[in-house]
Amino acid sequence: MTKKRILAAMSGGVDSSVAALLLQREGWEVVGISMDLYDYSKVTRDREGTCCSLDDLYDARRVCDTLGIPYYVLNLREEFRREVIDPFVREYKAGRTPNPCILCNEHLKFRALLRKADELGAEGVATGHYAVIRREPGGRCRLFASPDAGKDQSYFLYSLDSDRLRRIRFPVGEMLKEQVRRIALEAGLPVYEKRESQDICFVTDDSYTRFLENRGIREDHGRFVDREGNFLGNHKGILGYTVGQRRGLGIASKEPLYVVAIDAEKNEIVLGSDGETFSGGATVVTPTFVAGAPPGKEFRATAKVRYHHPGAPCVVRATSDRLEVAFDTPQRSVTPGQALVLYDGDEVLGGGWIECAGVSRS
């Protein structure tokens, strides 16, 4: 009997390497692949710790050699530019702080790669994400946070629905990081002690501003103002600031000042006290739900407003194209452009993009 084929997305890191190994042990015919997303020669060669630098591709290839599986680098530059970089730049221009990793998961890892899986005769795609897919009788799939709370990546995966989850596997999703490293060490995979990957892979020189400037976005100096619009000082261009930021504002004041809002149209940055960075709610657009629809018109959930946010109990009112989220207690730095992800306990219900902090009164 021929084995069933699956694509293992390899980043060159320990998690995806062990994921491929575990699939192989389960009896899959594993095909290792990496995505060629941009011109790697423009990213510093030794910059470890992104999803996929040129050195990481080397590591991925060596892991596949060790496993004795084929390895291909797929050219997805065009899709990456269209679906991730362009929106990233657009969002920044609009004064929001975008999250390209979610877009990359949504459009590249779990859309383009599933198409590649079809083309290559594979059942689906596996990655090294820390999140758990439960397959119910009848075929419905549900998404849960990883038991390793420190590593959980379900926040980045909220936009996957049941139909897509059915074709996706997270072989290390239910493990602890230490277990994963141990498996890699025991299996002799050459990557067991690599550092974690966290950075945004395509931003070079650790400088957003330079990356964006290279994309033709000019930095116009503008005004820092308070809530009432009073002039507080000059900023160096909105690209360099994000909501909740305190350091590097260069404004002398009795109490510490924080960025509380960015107005791209006026090229103004609103500063305020610690208390003013808190919001009672958020308006969320382009919502999606793992189950295909929200659990009700109005329901309780826990909202994460950024990756490492511990989660805030809230009430959600759902309409067809947006969610109005009211937190039980106000939350710090609810940032337009970031994703808000809704949980019921460990289960991911869905989420969307934060359009503005605070619940609209309409």
Active site residue ranges: 104, 201
Minimum Å distance from CB 88 to other proteins?
A: 21
Q: Give whichever of 5 and 223 is closer to other proteins, judged by the CB atom.
A: 5
**Alpha-carbon distance 107 to 92, whole Å?**
19
Q: What is the DSSP letter of 83?
A: I
Residue 185 backbone phi and psi in degrees, to 5: -65, -45
**Alpha-carbon distance 278 to 327, whole Å?**
11
- The CA-atom distances, in angstroms, between 73 and each of 36, 46, 127, 175, 192 are 6, 19, 15, 27, 22
Q: Give whichever of 34 and 99 is closer to other proteins, judged by the CB atom.
A: 34
Nearest-CA neighbor of 285 among 348, 337, 347? Answer: 337
Dump strand ranges (E) for 53-96: 71-75
55, 12 Cβ separation under 8 angstroms: yes
Minimum Å distance from CB 36 to other proteins?
A: 4
Q: Give whichever of 82 and 90 is closer to other proteins, judged by the CB atom.
A: 82
Can you name the residues that pair with 5 across neighbouring β-strands? 29
**Alpha-carbon distance 280 to 323, whole Å?**
14
**Alpha-carbon distance 144 to 344, whole Å?**
9
Minimum Å distance from CB 121 to other proteins?
A: 7
Q: Give whichever of 118 and 186 is closer to other proteins, judged by the CB atom.
A: 118
**Alpha-carbon distance 102 to 120, whole Å?**
25
Q: Give whichever of 78 and 328 is closer to other proteins, judged by the CB atom.
A: 78
Minimum Å distance from CB 10 to other proteins?
A: 12
Minimum Å distance from CB 46 to other proteins?
A: 15
Residues in Cβ contact with 155 at an 8 Å cutoff, skipping those fewer than 6 apart: 304, 306, 307, 339, 341
Which residues lie near other proteins (CB under 8 A)?
A: 31, 34, 36, 40-41, 54, 57, 61, 70, 72-75, 115-116, 118-121
